[in-house]
Structure 1
Amino acid sequence: MLMPLDKTWGLVLGASSGIGRACALAMAQQGMNVVGVHFDTAAMEDSVAQLVEEVTSYGVQAHFHNVNAARRTVRQEMVARIAELTDGAGLKIMLHSLAFGTLVRYLPAEKGGSGISQRQLEMTMDVMANSLVYWAQDLTAADLLPPGAKVFAMTSAGAVQHLPSYGAVSAAKCALESHVRQLACELAPRAVAVNALRAGVTLTPALQRIPEHREFSQASARNNPHHRLTRPEDVAEAVVLLSRTSSSWITGNTIGADGAELLAAGNSWARDGS
């Protein structure tokens, strides 16, 4: 049975751009109040202000915070704020869409160069994977994930594919999917669903930081049976659709929101459009 989402609350980690931004808007369109966490420079100030204006234009509350979601003290402060905003009722949706990691090869590309450092590898893993666990722990301890809540984590086909600079992020995505499976089982008695959403290649600021993104994007658009890349709105639609139920029976999965891109990767029929 599909349920309305109006007057509920959604938390978006990584809310200022790309998929996080689209999901915040989709939640608002459904009548959800939105708490957004993002970590940006002053150059993004106008863009975030515009997003807040768009969200509130749907008659909902928007509380956006420019803070580092991977820091323990920030997380604790935000959990307390969410409890205050929701009057203890908690969240309907938590979306983990943090896309901050190193894009350095493991080994030096040339003699005398340097490969990835321990600090870079650990930071990528902590921000893009482990922080999901820490947020789930604190929100659960504060009783802010009630029965029927949905937790989503953004993964990608990069977990099973190779790009020269994507090794650390790929490892983090693998860990993230593992965390999703474990959290799904541990939160099942609370009737909270936890799933990873595997978006197709999407032109976001995070993608455009990858050195190989142009060639990779062109190949992905050719391979996708829809003959285009995934759009942030495609993923946002999936988040809303999967959240309009009180059931926790769809849980522990990595769900493709990619237009069958991964299935068709490398198939000649997908590339030539036949």
Structure 2
Amino acid sequence: TGIGAACATRLATDGMDVTICGRTESRLVDVAGRIAASGAPGRVRTQVTDVTVESDVAALVADHVAAFGGLNGFVANAGGGGGMGPYHLLDTEEFLRVLHLNVLGTMLSVKHSVPHLVAAGGGSFVGMSSLAGHTTHVMFGAYCVAKAGIEEMMKNAADEFGEVKVRFNAVRPGFISTEIMEGIPRESEVYDSYIVNTPLGDVGEPEDVANLVRFLISDEARWITGTAINCDGGHHLRRGPDFTSFIEPHIGHDALVARAPIGG
């Protein structure tokens, strides 16, 4: 859904053969149906996949190669947030869940796609970072760490595999109008903290990110590797959003800054 669906649509519209993956089959089938109905020339297949399970990712890549004869690009879009709150109160298991979904999922995608990208004579891998990968998101720290990890992975992989012409780049979306971001009420201080810090003064659309991804996957970006590109309406020029108003009313300011226990 959201950015992933927009990326798949944009690539298929360019004539690329695409495999879309996710954990919910009905959503995958819906996206594939909409792409087919649009008349996009690229072929689209679906595969239920949990990107934190190595056997799933290995099968995803192998099945794509078997179906289409090779692999030229990979977009590691799967990810998500969680672990909201100050670091001293974060649940360890939730913190690890966010890291696994974002960082481990991307690493497994790199691990299993690289040999096929090399076999194709080179290719492009796009990791999905975020504004959070390089700009503070107060009280949303697990997500920031995870996205920063993806950016460093793309840089390191770009250095490791440049010799065999495989490019690695990260994309940094800001506030994009997706189902996930609908969880932020439009009348909230958190939403306002996004808008007031975005020079273009609005939210982006999934297609804005998809257009950048399409460029990075294509040969038009043949001389671009090891970088992270902002797609955020200029938000990176100011400061990140502040999620304090979602937390402080429930625990109090002193507990928020570790001056007192919750309820103390």
4+ residue stretches of structure 1 with deviation over 4 A? Answer: 142-145, 209-214
Partner of 1:198: 172
Partner of 2:224: 250
Partner of 1:65: 47
Q: State the distance in 2 between where 1:224 and 1:101 align.
A: 21
Residues 153 and 215 of structure 1: CA distance in aligned 2, closer, same or farther (over 3 Å): farther
State whether structure 2 residue 71 is matched by structure 1 residue 90. yes
Q: Which runs of 5+ in 2 are unaligned?
A: 241-264
Give the residue type in structure 2 aligned to 1:73.
S
Residues 256 and 116 of structure 1: CA distance in aligned 2, closer, same or farther (over 3 Å): same
State whether structure 2 residue 105 is matched by structure 1 residue 124. no
Give the residue type in structure 2 aligned to 1:235.
V
1:178 positional shift: 0.8
Residues 170 and 124 of structure 1: CA distance in aligned 2, closer, same or farther (over 3 Å): same
State whether structure 2 residue 32 is matched by structure 1 residue 52. yes
Q: State the distance in 1 between where 2:119 and 2:93 align.
A: 32
Q: State the distance in 1 between where 2:5 and 2:129 align.
A: 16
Q: State the distance in 2 between where 1:221 and 1:160 align.
A: 18
Higher percent of residues as helix: 2
Q: Is contact 1:148–1:248 with CA below 8 Å preserved after alignment?
A: no
Q: Identify which range, 193-202 or 146-155, moves more after superposition.
A: 146-155
- Partner deviation per Cα, 1:188-236 (whole Å, 9 max, x = no partner): 0111111111112112233344689943333323332322112111111
State whether structure 2 residue 235 is matched by structure 1 residue 261. yes
Q: Which runs of 5+ in 1 are unaligned?
A: 1-16, 109-114, 267-274
State whether structure 2 residue 18 is matched by structure 1 residue 34. yes
Structure 1 length-normalised TM = 0.77
RMSD (CA atoms): 2.6
Q: Is contact 2:117–2:166 with CA below 8 Å preserved after alignment?
A: no
Q: Identify which range, 178-187 or 203-212, moves more after superposition.
A: 203-212
Q: Is contact 1:28–1:34 with CA below 8 Å preserved after alignment?
A: yes
Residues 60 and 160 of structure 1: CA distance in aligned 2, closer, same or farther (over 3 Å): closer
SS at match of 2:196: helix
Query: Size of the alignment, in residue pairs?
Result: 238
1:146 positional shift: 3.0
2:193 to 198, 204, 219: 219
Give the residue type in structure 1 aligned to 2:15.
G
Q: State the distance in 2 between where 1:233 and 1:192 align.
A: 25
- Partner deviation per Cα, 1:2-30 (whole Å, 9 max, x = no partner): xxxxxxxxxxxxxxx11111111111111
- Partner deviation per Cα, 1:131-160 (whole Å, 9 max, x = no partner): 222211112234566334111111112233
Q: State the distance in 2 between where 1:142 and 1:129 align.
A: 21
1:99 to 39, 54, 79: 79
Give the residue type in structure 2 aligned to 1:50.
D
Q: State the distance in 2 between where 1:90 and 1:163 align.
A: 36
Structure 2 length-normalised TM = 0.80
